[in-house]
Amino acid sequence: MDIECSRLLPSVCAVLVDPKQFVADDTCLEKLLDWFKTVTEAESSLLVLQENPCLTELLFHVVKLQDVNSNILSFTLRLAGIFAAHENSFQYLQQGEVLLSLFSEAGPLSRPAWEDPSVRSGWIQGVGSMVQHERAVQFLCDCGAIDVIFSLQGDPSLFVASTASQLLVHILGFTMHSRRAVPLTTQDCDWPVCARMIVGHIEESLRSGTVPQITQALNVLTTLFGRCHESWTEVLWMRMNPFVGSLLEKEPLLAAHSLVDLFLSMARPQTLRTKAFNILLQPLACVLQAASQPTGSPGLLDESLNDSVITDILLSSKSSCAGLLCQTLAHLEELQPMSHLLIDWPHVPLLSAVMTILRFCSGLATPASSVGDRLCGILIGCFRVQRSALDFLGTLSQGPSPSELIRGVVEILLVYLKSPDSSPTVLKKAFQATLKWLLSLSKTSTSSDLCPQTQHFLRDLFPILQKRLCSPCWEVRDSALEFLTQLTKHWGGRAGFRQALLSSEVPELAEDLLRDPESYVRASAVTAMGQLSSRGLCSNPIGTGSKNDEKKSLFLELLEILSTDSEGFPRRAVIQVFTEWLREGHTDVSKDKEQFVTKVLQVVSCDLDWEVRVQGLELALVFLVQTLGQHETECPYAVEMSSVTQSTQLTESLQMLCHMKLFDFIFSALCDCDRPVARKSCDILLYLKAKLAHHGSLQGSGEACTESLGTQNTAWLETTLRKWKARDQGQPSEVADRGDCQEPDDVLEVLRSVDLEGLRGTLAKSSDHIEKSPQSLLQDMLATVGILEENEADCY
């Protein structure tokens, strides 16, 4: 803790305990706690307590006060917890019995202030912070705090209740973790006292038959199994197994959602898992049955479906049906990545079920029963279910599907892509699912090109894509473009795809969308065209020079968007495309990289959007790396050139970079008022400096230079830049026309003079780092209550 803060602290503590003073802004207290936390983590907490007796006094004082403000009481509890987290401070505080008076049942629990949820929250957070060592756990067991935590699980404040339940998990985890060495059995006597108490409480709750208590216990277990995978948790599960098992056998099922959550958090014992999983599968089995899938195809559930509860929920109303199906699909989607853990993950029946749902939703399914009739009526045109089902269908592309089902998937996807009734959000999901299936199809095909089935799909797909690109709804145009971009990214090199794409009007339509009235669509069109052009799938070559053709080259078209588009999104997209082109060595760009980069940066330097400027710097960096080579450290096996040739090459490169006005751009960026821009520029310059480290001129040609090495700031740079500009303007016109406003020497002077490392440090700090300092916080707190000296004069 710095001296200034130590000086201010006693006054602050005095303010806090003074009932006449009122700290109106309780965020101050939060900030103060954050600061103490960092302080106690950075230095010895005991030392802090000893050097600042006002802190201990504060704790004592608050304990004694009868009508203490509940915010202050809560703060004190948390503060005590923060210090008590360190064993030596804990002991120090224990000596004065301050902890006992704060956390035992004799403490705030018996006071009226306990009614305030903020006090209970403070208590529980204090206890939470404390549980970092055995002594604290022992203390909590002894003083009855564990029972308080149990009771707080049912607290009317949800925050308190949930923290209490998490705290139990934390305490249990901590106790068991510290007893790791001892092998454990399900026998009670093996468990540490505190763990025994908690586990006993959980068992009792599970047996209680009341929903809130069961839910609390299940929540504790869910959090525990989700967080902790040590071996003792298996033993714990063995203890819990009969209790949870008997819950599942109860009719009606109590706390069903919490049970599902518990099973999702752990996928262990086979029998329970199967039961839990079956609950998830029931709605889908019901759907399958309603559409009467041909017998012989494997069903989702072996036993015939006779759960009328599920059927009743499904059919009771549109919203409950949609709700249940969406929830089921979302859970299954979460489980799918774990499907390899499940021995009998019913991939094929699930696929059939989700396809049946999609058919119901689009009016294609033929109902086979009265349940089906009702489902049909409920699900037709239900966007919510359509979206969830398409999401899950996409997820199911990861898995072995028989080819006749794949044919069905393709059909249903085409129906959704084609249907004029698909809402924009549904269509977006349909595109996403289609992409996943297409990619998974190409994965399974052995040949390098697309399989006939995929080719066939593409033939149907492109006319649809064409139509969607002409949609009057911008969201549709946008998602069609995104789909095109993704597909091209993955398949741009495959002959079958190229052929299908080029024989359609899709590239031309995408190009037209560069002039779309909606900025998001323009941005997506830019990205799509960039991708098409990279893969040589664009009708227009991007040649950098303007041609006599009526049609502008794609490069010029994008450059125009970059310089004239009023919205940021398309401009950001353009600069990203340009960077990508440069990075991957787009053939047309490679022909004249310098001109390409010069033109782009010229436009970017005037852009008002900082993201565009940052991306412009990225482009500059890519170019620099391509010109000067990687960082030495990054490429240890690079062939070393002789220092003379290296030096000559560097000089030439520098000359060229100056000629391109690249440094103009980078230096101005260093003075940019947007911090990310300046940071990026600083990083580039540091790279350059490292690159040029061995260059003679950078090492300094004389004493004068060495003195100024790395001490100047950006203000100096701004003045220098202005000076250069003035110099350029004063030069005869033919020189100015040459465009090399800077000489390599000027650049080297900047690199030499500016304290780039220091600058990087400053820029890395957030702009409000001064306002965030603890000293400022303490001063603010005193200022608000009028204690600070400079305000005293105002009293007159």
Partner 1 sequence: MKLYSLSGHPTLPCNVLKFKSTTIMLDCGLDMTSTLNFLPLPLVQSPRLSNLPGWALKDGNTFLDKELKECSGHVFVDSVPEFCLPETELIDLSTVDVILISNYHCMMALPYITEHTGFTGTVYATEPTVQIGRLLMEELVNFIERVPKAQSASLWKNKEVQRLLPAPLKDAVEVSTWRRCYTMQEVNSALSKIQLVGYSQKIELFGAVQVTPLSSGYALGSSNWIIQSHYEKVSYVSGSSLLTTHPQPMDQTSLKNSDVLILTGLTQIPTANPDGMVGEFCSNLALTVRNGGNVLIPCYPSGVIYDLLECLYQYIDSAGLSNVPFYFISPVANSSLEFAQIFAEWLCHNKQTKVYLPEPPFPHAELIQTNKLKHYPSIHGDFSNEFKQPCVVFTGHPSLRFGDVVHFMELWGKSSLNTVIFTEPDFSYLDALAPYQPLAMKCIYCPIDTRLNFIQVSKLLKEVQMRKLRPERRRDSHKVAQVPLHVVCPEQYTQPPPAQAHRMDLVIDCQPPAMSYRRAEVLALPFKRRYEKIEIMPELADSLVPLEIKPGISLATVSAVLHTKDNKHVLQSPPRPIQPPASKKRKRVSDDIPDCKLLKPLLSGSIPVDQFVQTLEKHGFSDVKVEDTAKGHIVLLQEAETLIQIEEDSTHIICDNDEMLRVRLRDLVLKFLQKF
* Contact residues: partner 1, CB under 8 A: 363, 366-367, 373, 376-377, 380-381, 419-422, 466-468, 470-474, 476-477, 505, 508-509, 512, 515-518, 521
| Residue for token pair 């100047």 | 712
Length of the chain: 796
Shortest approach of partner 1 to residue 307 CB, angstroms? 24
Compare residues 449 and 505 and give the one whose CB is closer to partner 1. Answer: 505
Can you read off the two tokens belonging to residue 557? 């078209």
Report the alpha-carbon distance of residue 723 to residue 735 in Å, rounded: 17
333-337-338 Cα angle (round to 5):
110
Shortest approach of partner 1 to residue 720 CB, angstroms? 48
Can you read off the two tokens belonging to residue 648? 């000559």
Report the alpha-carbon distance of residue 28 to residue 779 in Å, rounded: 11
Report the alpha-carbon distance of residue 678 to residue 756 in Å, rounded: 11
Shortest approach of partner 1 to residue 366 CB, angstroms? 5
Compare residues 135 and 467 and give the one whose CB is closer to partner 1. Answer: 467
Question: Residue 700 contacts by C-beta under 8 Å, 6 or more apart in sequence?
Answer: 706, 709, 752
Shortest approach of partner 1 to residue 517 CB, angstroms? 5
Shortest approach of partner 1 to residue 293 CB, angstroms? 16
Shortest approach of partner 1 to residue 690 CB, angstroms? 49
Q: Could you please report the per-residue DSSP string of 445-505?
A: --SSS--HHHHHHHHHHHHHHHHHHT-SSHHHHHHHHHHHHHHHHHHTT-HHHHHHHHTSS
A 10 A CB-CB count for 414 gives: 16
Compare residues 422 and 712 and give the one whose CB is closer to partner 1. Answer: 422
Shortest approach of partner 1 to residue 469 CB, angstroms? 8
Can you read off the two tokens belonging to residue 732? 């005869």
| 3 state DSSP class of 126 | helix
Question: Residue 520 contacts by C-beta under 8 Å, 6 or more apart in sequence?
Answer: 474, 478, 569
| 3 state DSSP class of 106 | coil
Report the alpha-carbon distance of residue 413 to residue 409 in Å, rounded: 6
Compare residues 470 and 638 and give the one whose CB is closer to partner 1. Answer: 470
Compare residues 290 and 559 and give the one whose CB is closer to partner 1. Answer: 290
Shortest approach of partner 1 to residue 417 CB, angstroms? 13
Compare residues 267 and 364 and give the one whose CB is closer to partner 1. Answer: 364
Compare residues 104 and 422 and give the one whose CB is closer to partner 1. Answer: 422
Compare residues 135 and 318 and give the one whose CB is closer to partner 1. Answer: 318
Compare residues 211 and 470 and give the one whose CB is closer to partner 1. Answer: 470
Report the alpha-carbon distance of residue 484 to residue 532 in Å, rounded: 9
Number of H helices, E strands in the chain: 43, 0
- H or E stretch at 613: helix 610-628
What are the CA-CA distances from residue 792 to residues 12, 582, 785, 786 (Å)? 16, 64, 11, 7
Compare residues 423 and 773 and give the one whose CB is closer to partner 1. Answer: 423
Shortest approach of partner 1 to residue 420 CB, angstroms? 3
Shortest approach of partner 1 to residue 323 CB, angstroms? 19
Compare residues 338 and 473 and give the one whose CB is closer to partner 1. Answer: 473
Shortest approach of partner 1 to residue 372 CB, angstroms? 8
Report the alpha-carbon distance of residue 778 to residue 8 in Å, rounded: 7
Q: Could you please report the per-residue DSSP string of 497-529?
A: HHHHHHTSSHHHHHHHGGG-SSHHHHHHHHHHH
